[in-house]
Every structure is written in structure tokens, then in C-alpha cells.
Amino acid sequence: MADQSLPPIQYAPIQYAVEPDLTADAFIDLLHRSGLAERRPVAEVERVEAMLRNAGLIITARLDGALVGVARSVTDFVYCCYLSDLAVDRAIQGRGIGKELMRRTRDAVGPGTTCLLLSAPKAVGFYEQAGLARHGQAFLFTDLP
């Protein structure tokens, strides 16, 4: 009897790049497709343009040229790196793109640099599954009296 099992699914390769000139329109579109738009100022294009322009590091993931993932970080490249946006198109989540974007961010900022992020409530499980350690001493000071 012939083996009836299906071959493993072959995905097209993802192309990763440092992309400092990512456009606000492309970023906003991906934020919508990833689910992060509800937590970002996507209606304020000028603000999103400033977010991109002032980021220290933007790493993208593309599939056949289409933007499918972004890691946008604020960093000094020697002491700390805050990964402020990690977005992957919902249609292709689960393929390791988010983890690879984090790896490439860590590698780009260099050894000895502390890398940190704040999780969206819905993404906590992803970061736990990815093996990230929680940091219990983080504080927000946006509304400091």
C-alpha cells in the first residue's frame, strides 16, 4: 500500500532587511493586518511618519515583496533597545516570523545591549511561548503627577 501522508507544506522564503525608509502607508497597512492598529495612532499619518523617522532600527519581513512583518525599535545600539512595535500579518502568523524579527533586532543592536518590550495584552501568550523572560520591575511613567 502506498504512503498516503501529505508532504510537509513548503512556504516561500521570507526576506528580512533593515529598512529605515519604510513608508507610513505600508506600516499602517501592516498594523491593520496584524491587529496592532487598535493600539497605535494609525489615523494620524504625520505621527506615524515621525514614529518611523525617529526609530533607531526598523527590520522588515517581506514575502514575494509584500510587507508581512515589522520590528520597530528605539535604541542606542550599545546599552538598550526598546522593541516598540512587533507586527506580523495575521494571515501568516505561526511561521516564526515574529521570533526571527526579534532575533535579528537583538543581533543588530549587538552584544551586551539589553532588549526589552511591552506586550499587548493579546500577545502575552506569544512571548511566553517564545521563551521570553518576564521583567517584574517595569513601570510606566506616562501619567506621572
Grid coordinates representing 51? 514614529
Give 31: exposed, middle or buried? Use CB within 10 Å, 0-12, 13-18, 19+.
Answer: buried
Q: Residue 131 region, left (φ>0) first, then alpha (ψ -120 to 50), else beta?
A: left
Q: What is the mean pLDDT of residues 90-109?
A: 95
Grid coordinates representing 102? 526579534
CA distances from 111 to 36, 67, 75, 114, 116 (A): 29, 28, 13, 9, 14
Grid coordinates representing 133? 523572560
pTM of the model: 0.87
Instruction: Check residue 26 and give its pLDDT.
Output: 98
Please name the helix (run of DSSP H) or strand (run of DSSP E) that holds residue 103, with its range, or none: helix 97-109
Per-residue b or e along 35-65, where b marks 16 or more CB atoms closer than 10 Å to that residue's CB: bbbeebebeeeeebeebbeebebbbbbbbee
pLDDT over 80 (residue 21): yes
Percent of the chain, pLDDT > 90? 72
Question: What confidence category does residue 23 fall into, taking pLDDT thresholds of 50, 70 and 90?
Answer: very high
Q: What is the mean pLDDT of residues 45-55?
A: 97
